Amino acid sequence: MTAGGAPAPQVEVVPLGRVNSTAAQVVAANLQALLELDAMVVEPWPEPAQALVAARGQYDAGIIMQELATPQGGPLRLGLMGKDLCVPFLTYVLGESQLGGRAAVMSLHRLSEGEGGSRAPRHVMLERAAKVGLHEIAHVLGLEHCRTAGCLMRFSAGLTTLDRLHMGFCPACQRDLTRLRMDLPARAPAR
Amino acid sequence: MSTPLQVLVVDDELAMRESIAAWLIQDGQQAAKAEGGREALAMMEQREFDLALVDIKMPGMDGIELLRRIKEGHPDTLVIIITAYGSIESAVEAMKAGASDYLLKPFDPEHLMLLLEKMGRQRRLMQENQMLRQRLAEGQMAGFEDMVGGSQDMLKVFDQIEEVAATDAPVLIVGETGTGKELVARAIHNRSARSFGPFVAINCGAQSESLLESELFGHERGAFTGAVKARRGRLEMADGGTLFLDEVGEISQKMQVSLLRVLEDGSFLRVGGGQPLTSDFRLICATHRNLPELISAGEFRQDFYYRTNVFSVTVPPLRQRREDVIPLAEHFIAVFAQETGKVPPELEDKARRALISYSWPGNVRELRNIMERAVIVSKSGFIGLEQLTFLDEGPKPGSTALSLAEMETEHIRRVLQAHGWNITQAAATLGIDRTTLGRKIKKAGLRSP
């Protein structure tokens, strides 16, 4: 929620339960810098217990997104979790989004994994978080996966492929993003 | 981006069906959903799908039954079976019933991605095959074994191949360099009763007489300096199959006599050997030279000519069958695009006109080389004039700044070309013997076009 009657940002980064606050800030800053979206971290929401898939010890990303999605005209929302995410047919997801929709969710759970079971340096984890956040919000804006090597919209199932992506979009995706951003209201009205 | 796959997701579980379809759409594919086998088959009657993701366990028609129905009615649709952990037997059954692959639920995301890429590649190959089949059916392009051509001259060649393949008689194939004489020989072999035997080829023009003798007849240990162990010759290797002597017009009269003896009594000796050996092979010879003229000039034995020329097949030069140039070029584009993982580039009109009007001194081999290079250098999805490098273009700017060695290589290449790669004649023009010329050709890496 935004304070008082201040207009809502274009994207709300919503921590879901206990989440690394620096990571949340980094994600929001990158959405602002690379996607030129007015993004801000809002007050945390409680962990979405209703999305827990007990048998798998993971949270169903689809259910979380339904909770996050705002009506048309409201801000886009990116949920940020410390717990692992899944969808019914995949063993895990780093992030999930509604293509051309209202919400996305991402997890920091696997982003700290280093080589051979070690822990990745903090800056690596933060860079990965920024990449996943940008990728998912670009989906929400309507962008599909891209086959161009290094482009942030290339599908990365794991950290190895995620680490190979550049912190940016290929010219074709960049062009599409510019067009898609124009469809967004400059700054969503206060709710 | 590559063309999206048309995918049909068949699963009775709504959440599974919806989430897989949503993920596929996000990945840039076209996805449709069906909650059971009957609905899926009905949808497949309405439109074509490249791929069906089918859950194995569904009420009513199960996944395996649906897979069988799809394979019966829509054999070109690839099917991936989705199964749960612990039901590997069903997955095996699905593969036996024609599934392209299977996925264990829930899927590993990386595995899913790799599988989709694999299916995309398979789809592309199938489409290319379909396209080639269609063009064959429409008569735009006639294909025979690995040969492409719809011209009257080539159709005549294909008929001759059929005719001689049914016999075991020696064949002489005549045609300019690069016209595909070896392909004709292979086609005869492949369609003959010897097709399960070996096809052994040797280029007689590229070796000295002593080396050719050793290559053909083999040698015993110590037969000559360097013969450190016994070696089987091509005649022995061809036992039960076909021996193809390319550039037979280049072999010496002495070698012709030796081969004639083999053809007449079926036995021969290895170089340095005393034990007669036998080999049962069919002989196919090829030449770009006019053998009757060589006979008149006393350079080729008439008896050997008659013995090898029971049947004769003449392969026309490319310039005499210009209607085959574009189908051939497109065939090579498809082949090399597939090899390099590219989408086949299209020929621009100017390029087409240039290909049709060119003189093709190097025939189909030259066209093949030109198209291979064009596919590699093509970046825009098109092949224009600038991507075509013809052999007969004349000197390029800067070609005068050659070193002495480069000049020598260039001179040898031109002389060889002028003599149609006849080593004996080229050596005579250059004032060196055949062996020296052979060494220089090898050192410079020169190859007949």
CA B171-B175-B176 angle, to 5 degrees, is: 150
Q: Are A146 and B22 inside 8 Å of each other by CB?
A: no
User: Do the domain assignments include residue B395?
Assistant: no
Q: pLDDT tens for residues B349-388? A: 888 988 988 889 899 999 999 999 999 998 888 898 888 8
Give B314→chain A minimum CA distance, Å: 49
What domain range is B372 assigned to? 320-387
**Which residues on adjacent β-strands are paired with residue B102?**
B81
Q: Are A157 and B113 inside 8 Å of each other by CB?
A: yes
Residue B279, pLDDT score: 86
Clarify whether residues B310 and B170 are in a common domain: yes
Contact (Cβ atoms closer than 8 angstroms) between residue B44 and residue B69: no
Q: Domain count of chain A? A: 1
Asked if residue A1 has pLDDT above 70, the reply is no
Q: How far apart are CA B284 and CA B123, in angstroms?
A: 39
Instruction: Enumerate residues 103 to 142 of chain A having a beta carbon within 8 A of any beta carbon in chain B.
Output: 139
Asked if residue B242 has pLDDT above 50, the reply is yes
Residue A51: CATH number of its domain: 3.40.390.10
Residue B303, pLDDT score: 92
Clarify whether residues B325 and B254 are in a common domain: no
Q: pLDDT tens for residues A22-72? A: 999 999 999 999 999 999 999 999 999 999 999 999 999 999 999 999 887
Q: What residues of chain B lie within 8 A of the CB of A163, using their CB?
A: none
Q: What residues of chain A lie within 8 A of the CB of B15, using their CB?
A: 62, 88
Q: Which of B19, B29, B81, B117 to mutate to test the interface with A (most CBs of A within 10 A)?
A: B19
Residue B17: CATH number of its domain: 3.40.50.2300
Q: pLDDT tens for residues B377-425? A: 988 888 988 888 887 654 433 334 456 777 788 778 877 877 778 888 7
Clarify whether residues B354 and B207 are in a common domain: no
Clarify whether residues B438 and B413 are in a common domain: yes
Q: Which of A89, A145, A146 sits opposite B20 (nearest CB)?
A: A89
Clarify whether residues B106 and B43 are in a common domain: yes
Residue B400, pLDDT score: 43
User: Do the domain assignments include residue B397?
Assistant: no
Helix (H) / strand (E) containing A80: strand A76-81
Q: Are A88 and B110 inside 8 Å of each other by CB?
A: no
Exposed/middle/buried for residue A52 (C-beta within 10 Å: 0-12, 13-18, 19+) = middle
Q: Domain count of chain B? A: 4
What average pLDDT does the structure give for chain A?
89
Nearest CA in chain A to B2: A147
Catalytic residues of A: 136
Asked if residue B161 has pLDDT above 70, the reply is yes
Residue B383: CATH number of its domain: 1.10.8.60
Residue A47, pLDDT score: 95
User: Do the domain assignments include residue A149?
Assistant: no
What domain range is A129 assigned to? 11-112+119-143
Clarify whether residues B182 and B307 are in a common domain: yes
Clarify whether residues B245 and B334 are in a common domain: no
User: Do the domain assignments include residue A186?
Assistant: no
Q: pLDDT tens for residues B227-236? A: 777 778 888 8
User: Do the domain assignments include residue A81?
Assistant: yes
ipTM over 0.85? The verdict is no
DSSP per-residue letters across B337-406: HHHHTPPPPEEPHHHHHHHHHS--TTHHHHHHHHHHHHHHH--SSEE-GGG---TTS-PPTTTT---HHH
In B217-337 the beta strands, taken as DSSP E runs, fall at 242-246, 267-268, 277-278, 282-287, 311-314
Cα B424 from chain centre: 30
Clarify whether residues B304 and B170 are in a common domain: yes
Residue A2, pLDDT score: 42
Edge-first strand listing for the sheet containing A95-97: A39-41, A11-16, A76-81, A103-107, A95-97
Residue B135, pLDDT score: 53
Q: Are B13 and A88 inside 8 Å of each other by CB?
A: yes
Q: Which residues of B touch A (CB under 8 A)?
A: 1-2, 13, 15-16, 19-20, 22-23, 25-28, 82, 105-110, 112-113
User: Do the domain assignments include residue A58?
Assistant: yes
Clarify whether residues B33 and B175 are in a common domain: no
Q: pLDDT tens for residues B47-96? A: 889 999 999 989 989 999 999 999 999 988 999 999 876 667 787 888 88
pTM of the full predicted structure?
Answer: 0.52
User: Do the domain assignments include residue A127?
Assistant: yes
Task: State the amino acid at position B217 in one-letter form.
Answer: F
